[in-house]
Structure 1
Amino acid sequence: MATANCMELRYLKSFVVAAKLLNFSEAAREMCVTQSTFSQTIKQLEEELGTVLFYRTSHKVSLTKAGEELLPFAVTAIDSADNCLRRMNDMQALKCGTLNIGVTHSFNMVMHETLKDFMKLYPDIFLNIVYKPMTELVNRLLNHELDFVLSFRPQGNYPLIESHLLFDDVLSVIVRRDSPLAAYDKISLSVLTDYPAVLPAKGLQARNTLDDILSETGTELNVRAEMDEVTPLLRLVRSTGMYTILSSSATEDADDLVAIPINHEGCRMEGCVQMLKGIYKNSASKEFIRILCETSLVKKRITYWLK
């Protein structure tokens, strides 16, 4: 019985290819069989269904009325079978395989706990973590090099990418607890002009948001240095007493630093999972994101798009 079902699926695949190309020679090449074998497959399907599916002449192949009627059902059946196979393979994938994840530097604060827990639960899955600026990660996602990207919501328009909100954040001034700026509950950009700053490099998401606000307000900061990674940037803040500007979550595990929200309506940032639209979400990706949502930073603000 199982063999017959497999044969029927092969018949349907051959039929759909022939209906698409309307050329048995080209269809046979696409199915990697000889033309005589392909023609025999179509003949067997027609005999099983008790009807003719194609009009054939020496110059032309076209669908009969029965063939036109069968085509959408055949496509649906093949898609369902392929989806079933993907899901079964997906179940096995939690025991092996590779998960490719893009992460912006400013999103690093939630990764340590997530990686530790995921690797403990799924020791046979290889994790390929790529830290790059948002623009490069988006390009890799669009090229199917990454399963998903963890970042703040991008400012550009990406119609092929969907952003799923994980948590809200705000652009903030990051200083040592002994800094005069640490006394503020909220801080205006005009106050910062009197203090030296070390900023994230241009192209990073926090810097992009900041530059938009600086341009809008006409504010110029006293920038002494720029760095393209968050960890050494915070280390420099600790050693020099200068301030930087990042998302408030950058200090999640830093008891010696304080995050003061900038008093401007354009400072909202949204931590998101970026995925390609219409792409099947494999179980390993869903499980990684589930564990991510259990971290202390996002647990109370989780959205339920994965349910």
Structure 2
Amino acid sequence: MIDKLEMFIALAQARHFGRAAEAVGVAQPTLSAAIRQLEESLGVMLVRRGSRYGGLTPEGERVLQWARRIVSDARTMREEIRIGSKGLSGTLRLAVIPTALAVASRLTASFAQSHPDVRLTILSATSISILEDLDGLRIDVGISYLDNEPLGTKTTLPLYEERYTLILREDHPLASRDRIAWGELRGVPLCLLTPDMQNRRIIGGLLGQAGVPVAPRVETNSTIVLVTHVLADNWATILPRSAAEFFLSHGPLRAIPLAEPDAGHLVGLIVPAREPQMPLVAALLSEARRFSSRENSDR
């Protein structure tokens, strides 16, 4: 039954029989047969079918919630049994918004020191895909914004508050300023993250409130590309200070706080709301509490 539920979860996420079969490593006829067997055992139709995948039925949507819970519980049970005999080990999968990667790296480095037998997979992702991948059981932990968009039923742990700065070269005309108001950015050539990133939506909202048109000359999903453009010419970008610190130590750059408003957003861990948590997730949450305490005491 568990393997059929895993195939059903994959189909609901992929919305395509072929891609779902590839995701779980089986042939498409095998996946189709498993879904039909699941439907027969439950006595309801779960998937609308025509010439192609047509979505889940109302019964399928309800079964999907149960399937995620059952599969997650089964994985947790297997992990607890394995770790009980072998100690904390295995692979912990994280997805992180781009502006939090530097902080996430400090957290995972500290975690890796304490748990040398655990492997870490860390991916850069949008806030929306982080929530989707948590629900689809493709990642174990997300690091994202906690207070700007609906998270659904999740457990969260704040790490730090994101504050925004204008990043520019030391020879930029604005580089001598101590603070800059958002409204003063009209006419400044900006490079920003792409609109699918929540950071871009936050920045766009703050610029819009200040009456500044949101018309970046360059858009990218990489903070490295943003800073490279700033270093190459008279551009500027807007990043949280926590994301800019690495670049500030490796180039002739300045980070100037943005004011009016002096906005901030909480960033932290997001995990499925369940008890008990998977042992690896519980260990990371414990490390994150210590990490957050150290980070905040240093500020």
State the distance in 1 between where 2:86 and 2:227 align: 38
TM-score normalized by the length of structure 1: 0.62
Match of 1:178 among 171, 178, 188: 171
Match of 1:194 among 169, 187, 193: 187
User: Post-superposition, which runs of at least 4 consecutive aligned residues in structure 1 deviate over 6 A?
Assistant: 83-86
**Pairwise CA distance, 1:205:** 2.3
Aligned residue number for residue 166 of structure 1: 159
State the distance in 1 between where 2:109 and 2:150 align: 33
Point out the structure with max Rg over C-alpha: 1
State the distance in 2 between where 1:92 and 1:179 align: 59
**Pairwise CA distance, 1:263:** 1.3
1:108-123 map, 5 Å? 108-123=101-116
Counterpart residue type for residue 255 of structure 2: A
Aligned residue number for residue 94 of structure 2: 101
**Pairwise CA distance, 1:276:** 1.6
| SS in structure 2 at match of 1:180 | coil
**Pairwise CA distance, 1:104:** 1.0
Counterpart residue type for residue 301 of structure 1: N
State the distance in 2 between where 1:290 and 1:242 align: 41
**Pairwise CA distance, 1:234:** 1.4
| SS in structure 1 at match of 2:175 | helix
Deviations 1:53-104 (A, max 9, x none): xxxxxxxxxxxxxxxxxxxxxxxxxxxxxx9997554455754322111111
For structure 2, the residue ranges without an aligned partner over 5 or more in a row are 1-40, 43-75
User: Structure 2 vs 1, CA of residues 156 and 271 (structure 1 numbering), >3 Å: closer, same or farther?
Assistant: closer
State the distance in 2 between where 1:258 and 1:94 align: 46
State the distance in 2 between where 1:182 and 1:287 align: 43
Per mean C-alpha deviation after superposition, the further-off stretch among 271-280 and 113-122 is 113-122
State the distance in 1 between where 2:194 and 2:86 align: 38
State the distance in 2 between where 1:208 and 1:85 align: 40
- Please state if 1:284 is matched with 2:277: no
Deviations 1:173-224 (A, max 9, x none): 1122332323223211222123211111112122110111233333215521
State the distance in 1 between where 2:115 and 2:123 align: 19
Deviations 1:266-286 (A, max 9, x none): 721212111222243333224
User: Structure 2 vs 1, CA of residues 221 and 206 (structure 1 numbering), >3 Å: closer, same or farther?
Assistant: same
State the distance in 2 between where 1:187 and 1:169 align: 17
TM-score normalized by the length of structure 2: 0.64
Aligned residue number for residue 295 of structure 2: 300
For structure 1, the residue ranges without an aligned partner over 5 or more in a row are 1-28, 31-82, 303-307
State the distance in 1 between where 2:103 and 2:86 align: 24
Aligned residue number for residue 55 of structure 1: none
Aligned residue number for residue 137 of structure 2: 144
State the distance in 1 between where 2:231 and 2:167 align: 10
| SS in structure 1 at match of 2:148 | coil
Match of 1:263 among 251, 259, 262: 259
Task: Tell me the percent identity.
Answer: 19
How well do the aligned residues superpose, as a CA RMSD in angstroms? Answer: 3.1
Matched-pair contact (CA < 8 Å) for 1:195–1:222: no
